[in-house]
A = this chain, B = another copy of it.
Amino acid sequence: MWIYEKKLQYPVKVSTCNPMLAKYLIEQYGGADGELSAALRYLNQRYAIPDKVIGLLTDIGTEEFAHLEMIATMVYKLTKDAKPEQMEEAGLGDFYVNHDNALYYNNASGVPWTASYIQAKGDPIADLYEDIAAEEKARATYQWIIDMSDDPDLNDGLKFLREREVVHSQRFREAVEMLKEERDRQKIF
């Protein structure tokens, strides 16, 4: 089970109300390679994976929920003072008529999140490569959003998150190598 602690993993600031940037950033909230995908993927894989990898999946999965909360806070701060006209100008008129200034788990194009984005195969090697790929794709997504952003405060948070994906990718690579070595020691087939 999880205990909620009322603080963010890393402080979140935005320079100004900027719904256009929120529109892009929501890709990491409810998009294919966003934080929701990450958290749900890792926590779900914990059950059919060798014991020695469970802790890693729990740690990273839990951290991804903290990232999801950071993204939610960023999106909210970028839009909370936006009037309907500003939402409209930012291309968020379609979002506004459905959700007002609330949040929702969809990608930047408005497509709702689906579990089809993630996988669990019960094969540890396959699952860990899925996880490495996920981290690399999340890293790329942060890069494309940073390319679009000229908000230095927001970018500080986004760069922190991008770096965490690089670290996670490295840890999953170590785990897959460890399991492959072990497999090679144990069986000859």
Instruction: Spell out A's residues near B (CB within 8 Å).
Output: 1-5, 7-9, 20, 23-24, 27, 30-33, 36, 40, 43-48, 58-59, 62, 65-66, 69, 72-73, 76, 80, 84, 88, 91, 93-123, 125-127, 129-130, 132-133, 136-137, 139-141, 143-145, 147-148
CA distance A62 to B101 in the complex (A): 23
Q: Which residue of B lies closest to A173 (CB)?
A: B129
Given contacts A2-B4, A62-B4, contact A123 B97 (CB under 8 A): no
How often does this chain occur in the complex, in copies?
6
Q: A4-B2, A98-B107 are in contact. Are A140 and B123 (CB under 8 A)?
A: yes
Q: Hey, which chain B residues are within 8 Å of A43, CB to CB?
A: 69
Most B CB within 10 A of own CB, among A2, A24, A69, A139:
A2
Residue in B4, B31, B76, B94 whose CB lies within 8 Å of A23: B94
A119 touches B1 (CB 8 A): no
- How far apart are the CA atoms of A8 and B84 in the complex, in Å? 30
- Residue of B whose beta carbon sits closest to that of A145: B97
Residues of B close to A7: CB separation below 8 A: 1
Which residues of chain B are near A30, meaning CB under 8 Å? Answer: 115
A23 and B102 contacting across the interface, CB-CB below 8 Å: no
Across the interface, A123 reaches (CB within 8 A) one of B100, B109, B148, namely: B100
